[in-house]
């Protein structure tokens, strides 16, 4: 359940409610907003029903949470969550512009891309070290060597890194190197991996599964939050439908729904949804217009020679113009690039 405190509630009032919740063996999850504090009580439903906090001083209202997800539910936070990564922000009025190659392929390619996206005002650098490829015969990523290259790109540009973790056996190395841990679409319901990153000290970028519903995505996020890590960015990246004209069907309706259902930031990956570079700009504009908190886009110095996702990467030479077009829609929405 969720306890909404009065704007006049004192710290003592808040602490008394938290103590009451914890005395029942439930977990208290306070969220202090600008105006009010909301305290989530997470635990067994029947046990929570015995919590008579209504009469406590400072309590405005007690609301049951009827959704299956709890920690990520919109109601549980007083304000939208803003994820701060080394001073780059995603959420609320901050629009994250995450860009970089699909895969880290070489030192030159990684550094050239990092410089181009940094100059164009990107907020973070993406780049796959471990790649989830449909065919085992295609490029699988440079692995640990790629993490070194990303760190070099970060040292030069100052851009925080986003890279995918695929295997719990690489948790230590990936978490150490990266600033944001990406969980890819194919691992969206890998519950052991989700719990693992829930115990990590870095924010998580969680992609929607290829055939996951909005509720399944939120429950996946709940696995991460339940372990104590509530720094989660959700990502709509297109789903499988009967439509074949795009690689996946970008579900912008889901973004609007997610903004109602959760306090977490929601970004869009137009590159994997489109599968072709000419659609990336219109889908990015649409993402900003629907209220997304950012985009994650693939760009490469020579896209046609890319070792993965060649058709959808934007040439780095065109990235500044692309970023400027997106920024104009972001400004129309009353937001700024974080
Ligand atoms: C990626 O971002 O590199 C990627 C593989 O995306 P997804 O998991 O959404 O397919
Ligand atoms: Mn890719």
Query: Is the separation of the CB atoms in 185 and 208 below 8 Å?
Result: yes
Q: What angle do CA 11, 15, 17 make, to 5 degrees?
A: 120
Rounded Cα distance between 51 and 41, Å, is: 10
Rounded Cα distance between 138 and 133, Å, is: 7
Going by C-alpha positions, the residue among 117, 129, 195, 192 that lies closest to residue 157 is: 117
How does pLDDT run along the chain (338 residues), one tens digit per residue?
889 999 999 999 999 999 988 888 888 989 888 888 999 888 776 666 666 777 889 999 888 877 899 999 998 888 999 999 999 999 999 999 999 999 999 999 999 999 999 999 999 999 999 999 999 999 999 999 999 999 999 999 999 999 999 999 999 999 999 999 999 999 999 999 999 999 999 999 999 999 999 999 999 999 999 999 999 999 999 999 999 999 999 999 999 999 999 999 999 999 999 999 999 999 999 999 999 999 999 999 999 999 999 999 999 999 999 999 999 999 999 999 99
Tell me how far the alpha carbon of residue 184 lies from the centroid of ligand 2, in angstroms.
10
Alpha-carbon radius of gyration of the chain: 21
Lining residues, ligand 1, CB within 6 Å = 102, 128, 132, 184-186, 207, 237, 269, 272
* Number of Cβ within a 10 Å radius of residue 8: 10
- In this prediction, residue 137 carries a pLDDT of 97
Residues lining ion ligand 2 (Cβ < 5 A) are 102, 309
State the ligand closest to the CA atom of 186: 1
Q: Which CATH architecture does the domain made up of 2-66 adopt?
A: 2-Layer Sandwich (3.30)
Q: What are residue 194's phi and psi, to 5 degrees?
A: -60, -45
Which is the closest atom of ligand 1 to the Cα of 308? 3
- In this prediction, residue 50 carries a pLDDT of 67
Domain coordinates of the chain in residue numbers?
A: 2-66, 83-337
Kindly tell me the burial class for residue 242, based on how many C-beta atoms sit within 10 Å of its own C-beta (0-12, 13-18, 19 or more): exposed
Rounded Cα distance between 116 and 241, Å, is: 34
Half-sphere exposure of 134 (CA within 13 A, CB side): 3
- In this prediction, residue 206 carries a pLDDT of 98
Going by C-alpha positions, the residue among 199, 125, 197, 196 that lies closest to residue 162 is: 125
Q: Tell me the fold of 83-337.
A: TIM Barrel (3.20.20)
Query: Is the separation of the CB atoms in 85 and 265 below 8 Å?
Result: no
Q: Which residues of 44-66 are buried (b: 16+ CB within 10 A; e: fewer)?
A: eeeebeebebeebebbbebeebe
Which is the closest atom of ligand 1 to the Cα of 309? 3
**Token representation of residue 156:** 């030069």
- In this prediction, residue 45 carries a pLDDT of 65
Query: Is the separation of the CB atoms in 225 and 232 below 8 Å?
Result: yes
Mutate to test the pocket of ligand 1, among 103, 104, 126, 128 (most ligand atoms within 8 A of CB): 128
State the ligand closest to the CA atom of 310: 2
Tell me how far the alpha carbon of residue 56 lies from the centroid of ligand 1, in angstroms.
48
Tell me how far the alpha carbon of residue 135 lies from the centroid of ligand 2, in angstroms.
14
Tell me how far the alpha carbon of residue 85 lies from the centroid of ligand 2, in angstroms.
22
């Amino acid at each position: 359940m969720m306890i909404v405190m009065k704007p006049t509630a004192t710290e003592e009032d808040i602490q008394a409610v938290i103590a009451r919740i914890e005395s029942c063996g439930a977990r208290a999850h306070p969220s202090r907003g600008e105006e009010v504090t909301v305290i989530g009580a997470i635990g067994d439903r029947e046990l929570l029903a015995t919590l008579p906090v209504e009469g406590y001083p400072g309590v405005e209202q007690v609301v049951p949470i009827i959704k299956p997800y709890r920690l990520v539910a919109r109601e549980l936070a007083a304000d939208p969550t803003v994820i701060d990564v080394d001073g780059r922000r995603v959420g609320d009025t901050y629009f994250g512009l995450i860009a970089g190659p699909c895969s880290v392929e070489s030192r030159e390619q990684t550094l050239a891309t990092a410089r181009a996206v940094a100059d164009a005002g990107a907020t973070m650098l993406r780049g796959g070290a471990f790649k989830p490829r449909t065919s085992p015969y295609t490029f699988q990523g440079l692995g640990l060597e790629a993490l070194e290259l990303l760190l070099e790109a970060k040292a030069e540009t100052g851009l925080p890194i986003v890279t995918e973790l695929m295997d719990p056996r690489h948790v230590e190395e990936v978490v150490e190197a990266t600033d944001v841990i990406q969980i890819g679409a194919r691992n969206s319901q890998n519950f052991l991996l989700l719990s693992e990153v829930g115990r990590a000290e870095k924010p998580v970028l969680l992609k929607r599964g290829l055939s996951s519903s909005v509720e399944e995505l939120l429950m996946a996020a709940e696995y991460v939050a339940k372990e104590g890590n509530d720094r989660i960015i959700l990502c709509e990246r297109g789903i499988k439908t009967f439509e074949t004209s795009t690689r996946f069907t970008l579900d912008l309706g889901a973004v609007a729904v997610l903004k109602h259902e959760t306090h977490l930031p929601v970004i869009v990956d137009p590159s994997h949804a489109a599968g072709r570079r000419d659609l990336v700009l219109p889908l990015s504009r649409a993402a900003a217009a629907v209220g997304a908190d950012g985009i994650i886009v693939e760009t490469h110095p020579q896209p046609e020679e890319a070792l993965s996702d060649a058709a959808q990467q934007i040439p780095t030479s065109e990235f500044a113009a692309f970023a400027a077009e997106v920024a104009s829609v972001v400004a129309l929405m009353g937001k700024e690039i974080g």
